[in-house]
Structure 1
Amino acid sequence: MSQIDKVLARIDADLDNALARLFDLIKIPSISTDPSYKADCRKAAEWLAAELTGIGIPASVRDTAGHPMVVGHRKSGKPGPHVLFYGHYDVQPVDPLNLWETDPFEPRIVARADGSKMIVARGAADDKGQLMTFVEAARAYIAETGDLPVDVSILFEGEEESGSPSLHPFLEANHDELSCDLALVCDTGMWDRDTPAIALMLRGMVGDEVIVKAAARDLHSGSYGGSAQNPNHIVASIIAGLHDENGRITLPGFYDGVHDLPESLAAMWSKLDFSAEEFLGEIGLKYPRGEKGRLPLEHIWTRPTAEVNGMWGGYQGPGSKTVIPAEAHAKFTFRLVGDQDPDKVREAFRAYVRSKVPADCTVDFIAKDGSPAISLNPDMPAIAKGQAALKAEWGKEAALIGMGGSIPIVGDFKRMLGMDSMLIGFGLDDDQIHSPNEKYELKSFHKGIRSWARVLEELAKA
């Protein structure tokens, strides 16, 4: 047997133990956004540091102003790239709890009628199951061969689900220690349950909350209706004017820096057999929206968006209360692509909002964090090696895909540490991350471990 075959055989033989370790980590309710779980976040960090150290990657828990980081290294100047693997151990809150079929932090294996199995628990896919695929691959490689094929550093964060407030200061303070040749990120997904993928594009994001104020108090709609300004109407006008009849966003200069899809990727994506109707059908919808004349995959991967995430104003209780509210609120997010500038998009949006607010009314804004889009070079040598490794494991060419969401750490690695990233993940669209009954396919976990072992082997090749 070759060296990699021996490593893969060890992974297969140790799968039950790997699952038990994953379950131990999942059982720690490391909800970063809720202060009452602060001790649990530290417990998860300590568990990971001990686990890494135990397999031969000396690691420590590093304090921050928020939840701690976990940093580990195993390096001796081996040929090939020095890689930094990134993941996060914190998880989303479990609300609404009543929709969970069982305790969110008591992981279980659920078997389907077709024989496939899934791990159900909070954090099973996002991101504990994903990060443990790499840890288990490293465990098997060291146990079988005595070492890793390339130098490896690890960074596990505990605040990804709450905006990563400690990340920038930590990267700045530990610049030299964390600067490597390549970052590996496992917080993405596959094309489908049988086809692996490498993500090349991530949309950026900028958000704003708008508060429109009119009268000094809520007004009786019989006495003042038709005369006094209604903030709900103003907010509705703001929202209605954001898109034109072709689905394009109307903010002046919004499309500055937005590029058309390269022909090579357009050709590849047209062969991916993506159906917008099937994609929407899974969530109970039928008719796609978005810019006319674009591929369905462009809408969710490479075109910018403007969405209203919440809107409220006036009476919210049961029955009716005939008032004109004194103020109304709306929360907006813009997903960005290409070279769009988050600051310029925010400025254009605010100018547009102000133009919609009558002179005797006021508007306030509450800014949300902004980050630019990320585009990775498909000709990077690491991408070809990742493709080779994934094809060897899955028997299919890895799809080079975009991602509709945002992973700001990838941009931080590039801007702050000068390091490109390779994004390989094993999640699926139906994993219900951030929702009740989150799951991770057992196949994704098992073959994810095997995939990372193959990736490490490929990266070591000249």
Structure 2
Amino acid sequence: MSQILKALDAADQALDASLDRLYEFLRIPSISADSAYEGDCRKAAEWAAATLRDIGFDASPRKTIGHPMVVGHKRTGRPGVPHVLFYGHYDVQPPDPLELWNTKPFEPVRVKGPHGDMIVARGASDDKGQVMTFIEACRAILKTEGELPVDVTIFLEGEEESSSRSLVPFLRENKDELTADFCLVCDTGLWDRDTPAITTMLRGIVYEEVIIKAASRDLHSGMYGGAAQNPIRVLSKILAALHDEDGRVTLPGFYDGVKDLPAQVKAEWEALGFDGEAFLGEVGLKVPAGETGRTVLEQITVRPTCDVNGITGGYQGEGAKTVIAAQASAKVSFRLVAGQEPAKVQAAFRDFVTRSLPADCKAEFLSHGASAAIAVPTDSPPLAKARAALAEEWGRTAPVIGSGGSIPVVGDMQRILGIDSLLIGFALEDDQIHSPNEKYELRSFHKGIRSWVRILHALAK
């Protein structure tokens, strides 16, 4: 029996023990956003470091300005082997609202689902279950072979769910220790239950808040209506003008640098048979609202967008109050793709608003973050090896896909460590991450472990 088959067999035989370890991890309520759980975040970091030491890693929690990082190394001692950096996070979202959970969020349970057994708990999919697929793969290889096929550094963050304030300082201070040939990121998902995927495109974001002010105080609409500027009306007109009739964003220069999908990737996507109507139907919608001429899959992954995320102004209590508000505000987010510069988009939005203001109105702006989109080379040798390994495990070619969301750490790895990332995960769209009753399917966990066994061996070739 080959070494890889021995490791796969070991992973299969140890699945129940692997689940027990995952359950231990999930029982720790490592909610990074709530200071009341600071001790639990530290406990989770210590648990992860101890688990890595148990399989032979030189691992420890590291102090930061916030919650600890976990860093572990396992070197082969052989010259010339690739060095990979694996990134994940041990912190989780708050479980609220608790009344919508069918079980207690930090008491993991294994339940029957429509597609097989599921592990239900906060963090099961995002990201503890995903992290443990990699750790358990390393465990299986080390048990059967005594060493890993490549040099591995594991880096776990404790604030991914609460703005990652410690991440950039930590990367800069520990650049020499963390720099590798490339990074493996597990915070992504499968294409569908039977098809793996490698994410190569991540949208960036510009998130702005605009406040339109007019009169010095709220006004009686009977006394001032018709004569006084109404900030809510002004704001509504500006927001409505952000899109044209074809769903395109109207900011000057917004599409500068935006490129179409490569023909080969577009052909792969078309072969996947994504059903845009069914996708919208799951949330009670029918008609795509994005750019005319673009598929739903393109609209949600690789095209730039503008969305109003919240509007506030005037009286919002019960009953009626005849008032012209002194101010109105809106929160607006732009999802960016490769080629767009966040600073230019922010400046274009602010200029668009300012130029649209009538007399007696002024605008104030608040930034709630900005990060550039990420595009990982699709022709790199590591990506080709990982695709081949995934095909061996799943029996299907893993498409390279885009993600509509943002994973800022991938850009931080590029900018600070100078390395690209392979984004490979085993989550599903219906895992209900950040929501009550979060789950991770047993099949995702099991085949995730087996997939990493194959990928690590493939990367060594």
Q: TM-score, normalised by structure 1?
A: 0.97
Q: Distance in 2 between matches of 1:95 and 1:360?
A: 43
Q: Given the alignment of the two structures, is residue 176 of structure 1 paired with residue 176 of structure 2, yes or no?
A: yes
Residue of structure 2 in register with 1:406 after alignment? 406
Contact 2:76 2:147 in 1 (8 A): no
Residue of structure 2 in register with 1:109 after alignment? 110
Matches within 5 A, 1:110-125: 110-112=111-113, 116-125=116-125
Q: Distance in 2 between matches of 1:77 and 1:328?
A: 62
The residue type paired with residue 21 of structure 1 is: R
Percentage of identical aligned residues? 63
Residue of structure 2 in register with 1:205 after alignment? 205
| Offset from partner CA, 1:383-434 (integer Å, 9 cap, x none) | 1110111011111111111111111111111111111111101011111111
Q: After alignment, is 98-107 or 118-127 more displaced?
A: 98-107
Q: After alignment, is 276-285 or 104-113 more displaced?
A: 104-113
Residue of structure 1 in register with 2:82 after alignment? 81
Residue of structure 2 in register with 1:45 after alignment? 45
**1:296 to partner: Cα distance:** 2.4
The residue type paired with residue 388 of structure 1 is: A
| Offset from partner CA, 1:113-148 (integer Å, 9 cap, x none) | 55x111111111111111111011011111121111
Residue of structure 1 in register with 2:357 after alignment? 357
The residue type paired with residue 260 of structure 1 is: D
Q: Distance in 1 between matches of 2:309 and 2:39?
A: 31
Matches within 5 A, 1:186-197: 186-197=186-197
Residues 129 and 215 of structure 1: CA distance in aligned 2, closer, same or farther (over 3 Å): same
Contact 2:76 2:149 in 1 (8 A): no
Q: Distance in 2 between matches of 1:458 and 1:23?
A: 29
Residue of structure 2 in register with 1:270 after alignment? 270
The residue type paired with residue 256 of structure 1 is: D
3-state SS of paired residue (1:18) = helix
**1:372 to partner: Cα distance:** 0.8
Q: Which runs of 5 or more residues in structure 1 are unaligned? A: none
The residue type paired with residue 85 of structure 1 is: F
3-state SS of paired residue (1:334) = strand
Q: Given the alignment of the two structures, is residue 335 of structure 1 paired with residue 335 of structure 2, yes or no?
A: yes
The residue type paired with residue 267 of structure 2 is: A
| Offset from partner CA, 1:177-223 (integer Å, 9 cap, x none) | 00000100000111100000011111111111111122222222222
Residue of structure 2 in register with 1:442 after alignment? 442
Residue of structure 1 in register with 2:226 after alignment? 226
3-state SS of paired residue (1:129) = helix
The residue type paired with residue 313 of structure 1 is: G
Q: Distance in 2 between matches of 1:350 and 1:77?
A: 54
Q: Which runs of 5 or more residues in structure 2 are unaligned? A: none
Q: Distance in 2 between matches of 1:360 and 1:162?
A: 39
Matches within 5 A, 1:341-380: 341-380=341-380
Q: Distance in 1 between matches of 2:369 and 2:82?
A: 32
The residue type paired with residue 62 of structure 2 is: R
Q: After alignment, is 450-459 or 205-214 more displaced?
A: 205-214
3-state SS of paired residue (1:71) = strand
3-state SS of paired residue (1:232) = helix
Q: Distance in 1 between matches of 2:68 and 2:176?
A: 19
Q: After alignment, is 212-221 or 334-343 more displaced?
A: 212-221
| Offset from partner CA, 1:39-59 (integer Å, 9 cap, x none) | 111111111011111111111
Q: Distance in 2 between matches of 1:20 and 1:353?
A: 55
Residue of structure 2 in register with 1:93 after alignment? 94
**1:60 to partner: Cα distance:** 0.9
Q: Distance in 1 between matches of 2:94 and 2:304?
A: 28
3-state SS of paired residue (1:455) = helix
**1:358 to partner: Cα distance:** 2.6
| Offset from partner CA, 1:216-246 (integer Å, 9 cap, x none) | 2222222222221222112211210110001
Q: Distance in 1 between matches of 2:215 and 2:453?
A: 64
The residue type paired with residue 90 of structure 1 is: D
Contact 1:208 1:332 in 2 (8 A): yes
Q: Given the alignment of the two structures, is residue 9 of structure 1 paired with residue 9 of structure 2, yes or no?
A: yes
**1:251 to partner: Cα distance:** 0.3
| Offset from partner CA, 1:50-98 (integer Å, 9 cap, x none) | 1111111111111111111101101144343100000011111222222
3-state SS of paired residue (2:402) = strand
The residue type paired with residue 110 of structure 2 is: I
Q: After alignment, is 209-218 or 338-347 more displaced?
A: 209-218
3-state SS of paired residue (2:294) = coil
Q: Distance in 2 between matches of 1:320 and 1:441?
A: 49
Q: Given the alignment of the two structures, is residue 384 of structure 1 paired with residue 381 of structure 2, yes or no?
A: no
Q: Distance in 1 between matches of 2:299 and 2:9?
A: 42
Contact 1:80 1:459 in 2 (8 A): no
Q: Distance in 2 between matches of 1:132 and 1:172?
A: 26
Contact 1:249 1:306 in 2 (8 A): yes
Q: Given the alignment of the two structures, is residue 239 of structure 1 paired with residue 239 of structure 2, yes or no?
A: yes
Contact 2:187 2:425 in 1 (8 A): yes
The residue type paired with residue 159 of structure 1 is: E
Matches within 5 A, 1:280-295: 280-295=280-295
Residue of structure 2 in register with 1:143 after alignment? 143
Q: Distance in 1 between matches of 2:435 and 2:236?
A: 29
Contact 2:76 2:148 in 1 (8 A): no
Residues 320 and 91 of structure 1: CA distance in aligned 2, closer, same or farther (over 3 Å): same
Q: After alignment, is 449-458 or 138-147 more displaced?
A: 138-147
Q: After alignment, is 162-171 or 293-302 more displaced?
A: 293-302
The residue type paired with residue 304 of structure 1 is: P
Residue of structure 2 in register with 1:32 after alignment? 32
Q: Distance in 1 between matches of 2:188 and 2:236?
A: 35
The residue type paired with residue 457 of structure 2 is: E
The residue type paired with residue 71 of structure 2 is: V
Residue of structure 2 in register with 1:214 after alignment? 214
Q: Distance in 2 between matches of 1:3 and 1:304?
A: 46
Residues 363 and 47 of structure 1: CA distance in aligned 2, closer, same or farther (over 3 Å): same
Q: Distance in 2 between matches of 1:76 and 1:274?
A: 42
Q: Distance in 1 between matches of 2:236 and 2:121?
A: 39
Residue of structure 1 in register with 2:164 after alignment? 164
Residue of structure 1 in register with 2:254 after alignment? 254
The residue type paired with residue 248 of structure 2 is: R
Size of the aligned set, in residue pairs, is: 460
Q: Distance in 1 between matches of 2:445 and 2:360?
A: 58
Residues 226 and 77 of structure 1: CA distance in aligned 2, closer, same or farther (over 3 Å): farther
3-state SS of paired residue (1:422) = strand
